[in-house]
């Protein structure tokens, strides 16, 4: 099984400042088809998760461009260029490379200082 | 805009079977390229994939739950369902139905989630 490890567990950020979340997989997420099926989800308090980024760096429909994803192989990063109040919540990485098995990272809580 | 809505009992007794249904609107469950999923979240915890079904009826389950899980689809009603047998308090969680888009490799639409409590 692929294990997804996120750091930090919690990230207190000042409004308007950047935030960065790391996700590491226990094995390469490069699929045999050449794609890397690593996505990022945001879960605001009391809400279901929402897809932000898919295949490392592609923003899903309606996602603000302050969110960006990067990385390759086993190391990935989600960046928020300027944190806004509505960005408070828990962020998860997820791998679908090992289809049909999905695994999620443990989550990183973004909160305002 | 695809929408998913879970329905089912919010309270289940230990050893009984948890049953939930997800109704899909704004799109056909028979569209290829999507896997109709169940994902749960224990209170205050992270996300756990339970399993999914393709419109053809092919199913895939989390090995840790496989012996207790059945997912089925009713394309005529645009619904898919989850049954989890022999539940214990450890199965208390918010259960989400969601859509995994194969081309994206991401879960692009989620239901609001329903809390299921296992208690006598």
List of chain A residues whose C-beta atoms are within 8 Å of the C-beta of residue B39: 102
Mean of the pLDDT values across residues B48-54? 96
Q: How much is the pLDDT for B20? A: 98
Task: Provide the pLDDT confidence category of residue A113 given band limits of 50, 70 and 90.
Answer: very high
The tokens of A28 are what? 């390469």
Q: Where are the beta strands (DSSP E) in B1-120?
A: 3-7, 11-12, 18-25, 34-41, 47-53, 59-61, 69-74, 79-84, 93-101, 106-110, 114-118
Q: What's the mean per-residue pLDDT of chain B?
A: 97
Q: What's the mean per-residue pLDDT of chain A?
A: 97
Q: How much is the pLDDT for A83? A: 97
List of chain B residues whose C-beta atoms are within 8 Å of the C-beta of residue A96: 100, 105-106
Q: How much is the pLDDT for B108? A: 97
Task: Provide the pLDDT confidence category of residue B9 given band limits of 50, 70 and 90.
Answer: very high
> In this structure, which long-range contacts are made by residues B109-115, counting pairs with CB atoms below 8 Å and at least 24 apart in sequence?
B109/B2, B109/B3, B109/B4, B110/A48, B110/A49, B110/A50, B110/B4, B111/A48, B111/B4, B111/B5, B111/B6, B111/B22, B112/A48, B112/B5, B112/B6, B113/A48, B113/B6, B113/B41, B114/B6, B114/B7, B114/B8, B114/B10, B114/B20, B115/B10
Mean of the pLDDT values across residues B65-91? 97
Cβ of B47 and A94 within 8 Å? Answer: yes
From A48, A96, A105, residue closest to B105, measured CB to CB: A96
Any A CB within 8 A of B2 CB: no
Cβ of B49 and A104 within 8 Å? Answer: yes
Mean of the pLDDT values across residues A17-36? 97
Q: Which of residues 57-116 of B touch A (CB under 8 A)?
A: 60, 62-63, 96, 98, 100-102, 104-108, 110-113
Mean of the pLDDT values across residues B8-22? 98
From A37, A58, A92, residue closest to B47, measured CB to CB: A92
CA of A97 vs chain B CAs: smallest distance (Å): 8
Q: Quick one: what percent of chain A has pLDDT higher than 70?
A: 100
């Amino acid at each position: 099984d692929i294990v997804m490890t996120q750091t930090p567990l919690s990230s207190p950020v000042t409004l308007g400042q950047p935030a960065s979340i790391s996700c590491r997989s226990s094995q390469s997420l490069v699929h045999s088809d050449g794609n890397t099926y690593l996505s990022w989800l945001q879960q605001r308090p009391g809400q279901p998760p929402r897809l932000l980024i898919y295949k490392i760096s592609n923003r899903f429909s309606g996602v603000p461009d302050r969110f960006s994803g990067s990385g390759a192989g086993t190391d990935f990063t989600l960046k928020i260029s300027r944190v806004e109040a509505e960005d408070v919540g828990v962020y998860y990485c997820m791998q679908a490379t090992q289809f049909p098995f999905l695994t999620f990272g443990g989550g990183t809580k973004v909160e305002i200082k | 805009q695809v929408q998913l809505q879970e329905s089912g009992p919010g309270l289940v007794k230990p050893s009984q079977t948890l049953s939930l249904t997800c109704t899909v609107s704004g799109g056909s469950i028979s569209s290829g390229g999507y896997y109709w999923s169940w994902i749960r979240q224990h209170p205050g915890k992270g996300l756990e994939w339970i399993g999914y079904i393709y419109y053809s009826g092919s199913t895939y389950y989390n090995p840790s739950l496989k012996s207790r899980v059945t997912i089925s689809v009713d394309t005529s009603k645009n619904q898919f369902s989850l049954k989890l047998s022999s539940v214990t308090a450890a199965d208390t969680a918010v259960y989400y139905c969601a859509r995994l888009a194969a081309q994206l490799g991401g879960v692009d639409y989620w239901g609001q989630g329903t809390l299921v409590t296992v208690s006598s």
